[in-house]
Chains A and B, each alone.
Chain A
Amino acid sequence: MNVIEATGRWVRFRVEEAGRAGRFLEEAALAFGSVRSWLPNATLQMRRLGVDSLPIGLLIAVFTGIVLALLASYSFTGAVPLYFVGTLVEKTITLELAPVLTGLALAGRVGANIAAELGTMRVTEQVDALETLAYDPDSYLVVPRVVAGTIMFPLIVGVAMIVGLGAGWLASIGLLHLSSDEFLKGARMFFSTFDVEYGLVKAGSFGFAVTLIGCYKGLRARGGAEGVGNAATQAVVYSAVMILVLDAFWAMTWLHGRS
């Protein structure tokens, strides 16, 4: 009997949670309409969530590029000509590693930042205070962050692609004694602008998900410091999972079936 009740309660909580998330999404979408109330804050958030995240994104890209070049040359030993190092670095960086690795790093940085900030505002009643001053927290707090994330993630990832390929290129020249022309030949052989588009759209969806989850978890924080801590943790975990789910989603719906 207890098992059945527990199951029922669990299902009820899940359904309630889903309903709340759906309502949150709906209200955020509605708030998107009042451009005047979120636009002034968007640049601040683009600075804080985007521009300030560039260094970590680029650092990751540099190391990924170098490691990929070395891994490729190790795996190809003898059997495959070395200029395919360029191909492998180009494909993996633009299609997968730049968006996903950067996305995961930013899920930590941006997701936790948003959840902690909004969580603190929630538990210290600053969110309520906003409401009593006739500000809509959705358009004042949520939309600028989500817009900033959706715009800035692809830009960071795009720059990370360039830097990652550059790092792989330099590593190939410096460590693998591959000529610059050979690396470029490999990189160009199978390059298509679709690779970049795919990576950027994916990054945009990650930015959207990470910021939205951060806002949702932050605004739902309860209690004191512990509640804020929980909100930040959950935001990071959910964001990371969501990034992997979206990654698989794009691969299945968009990549799959293209020749």
Chain B
Amino acid sequence: MIKWVDVYKAFGEKKVLDGFTLDVHEGEAVVIIGYSGAGKSVAIKHVVGLLEPDRGTVEVDDNDVPTLPRKELYELRAHIGYVFQFAALFDSMTIGDNVAMGLRKRGEMSESDIAHRVAEALELVDLPDVQHQYPAELSGGMRKRVGIARAVALRPKYILYDEPTTGLDPVTSAVIDELMIRMREKLGVTSVVITHDMRSAYRVGSRIAMLYDGRVRQVGTVEEIQHTKDPIVRQFIEGRATLEGDAASLAAPGPAFESGATARGGGAE
């Protein structure tokens, strides 16, 4: 269980998280949506201790992450897979080495077991033949899938996806969505997904939380979010330019506005 309790985080004068509270239960896939720069990545970076909150706590399985000693923090990280927005593959290493990194660090598996696990993870993301290539030789979508394979290879309990489909074509996005669903259903992984691609959010999420102004504006099942009365959430999920004005098109969710949302989310966080 991942728990944010009243988290505050500011960078200089800029407040990013301002009383952020959210629970993620075992087996769930919680999607966090919100505007670019709203602090979604900041929120999940707290989970692995890459950032420390100014105030409030972040708990993973009842461990208080910010106060965890270094050694235990590294132990905790071994149970959490993190898929970075731009994959963040180590470009001086082959794909195989990239995926094997975390396993080698753990040091409890033999080199042949590691090779086996790497092949398995790459198989899972439908990239069986890229082991000996370098990240620069792959396309953006393939790199993201390798990033997922790297996180999955550790057999983590949790996976945090930071904008896994941003900037990809619709078909590749769908492939990655499928992958995330498979992870949850096949491996029972609890996941937190950050996205502003609403189509992906509806497909992947068991619950959706909207981050707005540093706190959770609304959290609920896909159904609940789709039928929300909150104007700000409505504006976001329908992709309107103004609060009341009509923008992309229909009142009800459908393919037409979703591509609009994707286009808007195309920018970097």
**B is bound to A:** yes
A129, B90: Cα distance in complex, Å:
9
Q: Which chain A residue has the least Cβ–Cβ distance from B151?
A: A132
A133, B89: Cα distance in complex, Å:
12
Q: Which residues of B contact A132 (CB under 8 A)?
A: 48, 50, 77, 80-82
The residue from B45, B49, B88, B101 contacting A135, defined by CB atoms under 8 A apart:
B101
Contact of B105 with A by CB under 8 A: yes
Q: Could you say which of A120-128, A155-163, A166-174, A234-242 contacts chain B?
A: A120-128
Is A128 touching B102 in the complex (CB atoms < 8 A)?
no
Is A129 touching B86 in the complex (CB atoms < 8 A)?
no
A46, B154: Cα distance in complex, Å:
31
- Within the complex, the shortest CB–CB distance from B73 to chain A, in Å, comes to 9
Q: Which residues of B contact A126 (CB under 8 A)?
A: 88-91
Binding site for B on A (CB under 8 A): 121, 124-126, 128-136
Is B88 touching A124 in the complex (CB atoms < 8 A)?
yes
Q: CB-CB contacts of B96-108 with A at 8 A, as 1s and 0s?
A: 0000011001100
Q: CB-CB contacts of B75-97 with A at 8 A, as 1s and 0s?
A: 10110111011101111000000
Q: Which chain B residue has the least Cβ–Cβ distance from A125?
A: B88
Q: Which chain A residue has the least Cβ–Cβ distance from B153?
A: A133
Q: Which chain B residue has the least Cβ–Cβ distance from A140?
A: B105
Q: CB-CB contacts of B37-50 with A at 8 A, as 1s and 0s?
A: 00000000100111
Ordered by A's residue number, 10 sampled pairs between the chains whose C-beta atoms are within 8 Å are: A124-B86, A125-B85, A128-B45, A129-B90, A129-B150, A131-B50, A132-B77, A133-B150, A133-B154, A136-B70
A134, B70: Cα distance in complex, Å:
10
Is B74 touching A134 in the complex (CB atoms < 8 A)?
yes
Q: Which residues of A contact B90 (CB under 8 A)?
A: 121, 126, 129-130
Q: Which residues of A contact B102 (CB under 8 A)?
A: 133-134
A125, B86: Cα distance in complex, Å:
8
Q: Which residues of A contact B86 (CB under 8 A)?
A: 124-125
Is B45 touching A134 in the complex (CB atoms < 8 A)?
no
Considering residues A124, A128, A134, A135, which has the most beta carbons from chain B within 10 angstroms of its beta carbon? A134
- Within the complex, the shortest CB–CB distance from A56 to chain B, in Å, comes to 22
Q: Which residues of B contact A136 (CB under 8 A)?
A: 70, 74
- Within the complex, the shortest CB–CB distance from B239 to chain A, in Å, comes to 27
Q: Which residues of B contact A133 (CB under 8 A)?
A: 77, 101-102, 105, 150, 154
A125, B101: Cα distance in complex, Å:
15
Is A129 touching B78 in the complex (CB atoms < 8 A)?
no
